[in-house]
Amino acid sequence: MLFLNTNSLRNKIYILLILIPLLLISDQLQAKETKLLILGDSLSAAYGLKQEQGWVSLLQNAWQSEDIIIINGAISGETTDGALARLPRLLKQHSPTHIFVELGGNDGLQGHPVSKMRNNLEQIIQLSQKSEVIVILQQMQIPTNYGKRYTQMFTNTYADLATKYELTLLSFFLENIALDKSLMQRDGIHPNAEAQHIIAKDMQKTLGDIIFP
């Protein structure tokens, strides 16, 4: 004859009924964790400065009270080619909810074909959206001495892609800073430590409006 301990069985069922909802809530909270991946070049990599002086680190500090993790995937000298090659690993490793794309400046400065840059940016956008990542694109600028036709094609690429893929297009964050020599490093290309605070404050507002609507 088989005897069942009904009290023990009842207790186990009771524990399971408590644990299952808790596990489901935990999974939901984990799934909602906000992660922002910065995919950029030296302008986001604190070039010429300590990492903690860069706008990305300053933004993370400003958002300490917010439930968000910022992954800085920016590399000095990065082109759209290099970023596209790195993106699959970054998406798999970090599972971001948002990606801020600050790329193309080095492509332009090196005179790469705009069509190639555009194709790379499109693939970056497509890969991100395929992984259900919200893409935020930044307008980039290059000096006008690259010729009117090349410069215009370069500039138009960003608005075209933003329209095609229904993205938020942010203004170039050095648009006003670059005009003030006191905010730039000696090379005249990279923002100095003081400028990083201005960028961080601006990005806190512009990115914050998108990430925390």
Q: Could you confirm whether 190 is annotated as catalytic?
A: yes
Name the DSSP letter for residue 67. Answer: S
* Catalytic-residue membership of 67: no
CB neighbour class for 143 (10 Å; exposed up to 12, middle 13-18, buried from 19):
exposed
Cβ atoms of residues 125 and 160 within 8 Å:
no
CB 139 within 8 A of CB 158: yes
Strand partners, 40: 102
Options 41, 44, 57, 190, the catalytic residue: 190
Catalytic residue among 42, 44, 57, 128: 42
Active site residue 27: no
Structural contact between residues 98 and 133, judged by C-beta atoms closer than 8 angstroms: yes
Pair of tokens at residue 118: 């555009």
Task: State the catalytic residue, choosing from 8, 160, 187, 197.
Answer: 187
What's the one-letter identity of residue 2?
A: L
User: Would you please indicate which residues are annotated as catalytic (active-site) residues?
Assistant: 42, 187, 190
